[in-house]
Chain A
Amino acid sequence: MPKQIEYKHPLAIRWMHWINFPLLAMMIWSGMLIYWANAVYGIRIAGYEIFHFFPAWFYETLGIPYRLAEGLQLHFFFMWLFAANGVAYVIYLAISGEWRALLPIPSSFRRAGQVALHDAHIIKDKPPQGKYNDAQRIAYTGVILMGAGSIITGLSIYKPTQLAWLTALFGGYGWARWFHFWLTILFVLFFLVHVIQVILAGWSNFRSMITGREVVESGEPIAAEQEVAA
């Protein structure tokens, strides 16, 4: 059976994707060093806290306590790189036309449901897709919006007086910090699901984020001279 090689991920997308990994990791790590100094959030059900961010063993295992100053230094250094990479990525999507592979449309939500049912082996047919299925489109666009949200909520707690209007948009300083925290939790959840899905999708898919290419089966015959060459 003849093959074709698909050029799935342009070089710029691959670099920005992988650069984002350590940058986001540093933002989350330094964020935890900062959060420790006022660790007030938890998950409450009917007034009873079922999980507190974070348990003492978590901080001690990772060596987080009493590193607020270091956390702030790292956060206010890596924020530039994280934001610059994110902005560059969005600009690249816009001008390269890659947004066509990534953005969802209203009916994507219906098809994303079908993707989920297909993945769960409940329905047999997978909805038609391009490079990404509609669940991926929603997730990958969502994570861009989360990045934008982290930058905006971050700015509103970084400069709550100069950007008082922005802080007010989130309901004030305390709420802006709350949104900033929960966006980070969403990033961690995205990361976990993303890694699991990549493992399930297999090596060829993973490799395509490094080489840019993936081999697909071809329905077309090989040109004669190529067959000879092979």
Chain B
Amino acid sequence: MSDERDDIKLDEVRGIESGKRSDNTAGILKEKRVLSEPLSDVEARKRMTGYSRRGFITGGAAALIAVFGWRCMPDETKANLLRRSLEFDERVAQVFYRPTRLAPEFAPESVSAPRTNGMEGLEGEFDPASWRLSVGGLAGRNDDLVLTLDDIKKLPVTYMVTELKCIEGWSIIVEWAGVRFSDFMKAYAPKTINGTAPDVVNRPTELVPYVSLATPDQKYFVGWDMPSILHPQTLLAYEMNGRPLTPDHGAPLRIASPTKYGIKQLKRIGRIEFTAERPRDFWAEQGYDWYSGH
């Protein structure tokens, strides 16, 4: 049975190679076949045994090394490898990052039903009336500047209808109103790396490279890289879907930005600090990507 089939197959190969058959894909695409000289049964079997031994030993060894290498890798080594991989991904993302690339904006009618997820930093007693924003790491001072919501609202307002993407995989369209973080930084400029006078607009790379944000109770905290927070669609938001923020959406002031997952868009900001050191990050400490950048 199988001999007959192989026989037919080889006839086809010859027909294709000699150009006799042009009614098939292999002939039309000029497929090449590589055949040994004719061999006796014994010789063919002998050669195949040699090829098999070599192939299965090499393949088996490679498979064993791969499986045992991965399975027996100490947890710490594996965790390090995966964390470094995320950091590598971050560096690649930053090489290709351009602040001029914007997330799509939608019509206000396309706003989705709001959705909340996680209450970290939002539990416990909170009095909106006595809320103040502390800002550390500003140029020309060592102590925190303390601001009220009215101070923030004096800055130019920006509206945007963008898609909020949760790291879980869902997304909703939200209308935001607030102050561009870049506008906030123009009014309250951070320190520079070398202590020179800051120029947020023209020399942003001289600024300290990180921003730390935390809730008033400091139970939820995130770190941002300077390019992402300077993105024109990163807002210090105080309104959502046309109304002042409600407590579960981060009243009185939160981050809203389509440049990162929701885990980075801290609600109920208590303190902002501009810093040269990479800030701690609540979810990064749970194994999530520190950068989480879009």
* Contacting pair A131 B169 (CB below 8 A): no
* Contacting pair B10 A217 (CB below 8 A): yes
A131 to B35, CA, bound (A): 12
* Contacting pair B288 A100 (CB below 8 A): no
A-contact 0/1 string along B22-64, CB 8 Å cutoff: 0111111111111111111111110110011011100100110
Contact A128/B24 with A76-B86, A76-B289, A211-B48 known, Cβ cut-off 8 Å: yes
Closest to B166 in A: A38
Contacts of B32 in A (CB 8 A): 97, 100
Contact A177/B169 with A100-B32, A130-B16, A222-B38 known, Cβ cut-off 8 Å: yes
Contact residue among B36, B43, B163 (Cβ-Cβ distance under 8 Å from A230): B43
Asked whether B6 is an interface residue with its Cβ less than 8 Å from the other chain, the reply is yes
* Contacting pair A105 B25 (CB below 8 A): yes
Asked whether B124 is an interface residue with its Cβ less than 8 Å from the other chain, the reply is no
* Contacting pair B289 A72 (CB below 8 A): yes
Q: Which residues of A, 117-137, contact B by the 8 Å Cβ criterion?
A: 127-131, 134, 137
* Contacting pair A207 B52 (CB below 8 A): yes
* Contacting pair A173 B163 (CB below 8 A): yes
* Contacting pair B48 A5 (CB below 8 A): yes
A134 to B293, CA, bound (A): 43
What is the size category of the interface that chain B forms with chain A? 35 or more
A34 to B289, CA, bound (A): 13
Contacts of B82 in A (CB 8 A): 73-74, 77
A169 to B259, CA, bound (A): 19
Contact residue among A80, A101, A223 (Cβ-Cβ distance under 8 Å from B26): A101
* Contacting pair B29 A164 (CB below 8 A): no
Asked whether B248 is an interface residue with its Cβ less than 8 Å from the other chain, the reply is no
* Contacting pair A4 B37 (CB below 8 A): yes
Contacts of B44 in A (CB 8 A): 3-5, 215
Q: Could you list 21 examples of A-B contacts with CB < 8 Å?
A: A6-B35, A7-B36, A22-B66, A38-B169, A40-B170, A68-B168, A69-B283, A73-B287, A97-B32, A101-B26, A111-B24, A128-B27, A159-B293, A161-B101, A161-B233, A173-B165, A210-B56, A210-B59, A215-B44, A219-B11, A229-B43
Q: Which of B91-99, B135-143, B268-276 contacts A (4 or more CB under 8 A)?
A: B91-99
Contact residue among A103, A129, A173, A223 (Cβ-Cβ distance under 8 Å from B38): A223
Q: Which residues of A, 42-94, contact B by the 8 Å Cβ criterion?
A: 68-70, 72-74, 76-77, 80
Contact residue among B40, B63, B294 (Cβ-Cβ distance under 8 Å from A227): B40
Contact residue among B25, B43, B45, B86 (Cβ-Cβ distance under 8 Å from A226): B43
Contacts of A222 in B (CB 8 A): 38-40
A28 to B206, CA, bound (A): 42
Contact A211/B35 with A76-B89, A218-B10 known, Cβ cut-off 8 Å: no
Q: Which residues of A, 188-230, contact B by the 8 Å Cβ criterion?
A: 202, 207, 210-213, 215-223, 226-227, 229-230
* Contacting pair A219 B66 (CB below 8 A): no
Q: Which of A3, A35, A210, A223 has the most CB of B within 10 A?
A: A3
Asked whether B186 is an interface residue with its Cβ less than 8 Å from the other chain, the reply is no
Asked whether B104 is an interface residue with its Cβ less than 8 Å from the other chain, the reply is yes
Asked whether B109 is an interface residue with its Cβ less than 8 Å from the other chain, the reply is no
* Contacting pair B38 A220 (CB below 8 A): yes
* Contacting pair B25 A108 (CB below 8 A): yes
A-contact 0/1 string along B1-18, CB 8 Å cutoff: 011001101111111100
Closest to B52 in A: A211
* Contacting pair B287 A128 (CB below 8 A): no
A47 to B27, CA, bound (A): 49
Beyond A35-B169, A130-B25, A217-B6, 18 additional contacts (C-beta under 8 Å) are A5-B44, A7-B36, A34-B169, A70-B287, A72-B167, A99-B29, A130-B24, A131-B33, A160-B103, A161-B258, A162-B93, A164-B103, A172-B104, A210-B55, A211-B55, A218-B10, A226-B40, A227-B40
* Contacting pair B168 A128 (CB below 8 A): no
Contact A173/B171 with A5-B39, A74-B82, A162-B101 known, Cβ cut-off 8 Å: yes
Asked whether B280 is an interface residue with its Cβ less than 8 Å from the other chain, the reply is no
* Contacting pair A100 B170 (CB below 8 A): no
Contact A2/B10 with A213-B48, A217-B3 known, Cβ cut-off 8 Å: no
* Contacting pair A216 B25 (CB below 8 A): no
Closest to B59 in A: A210
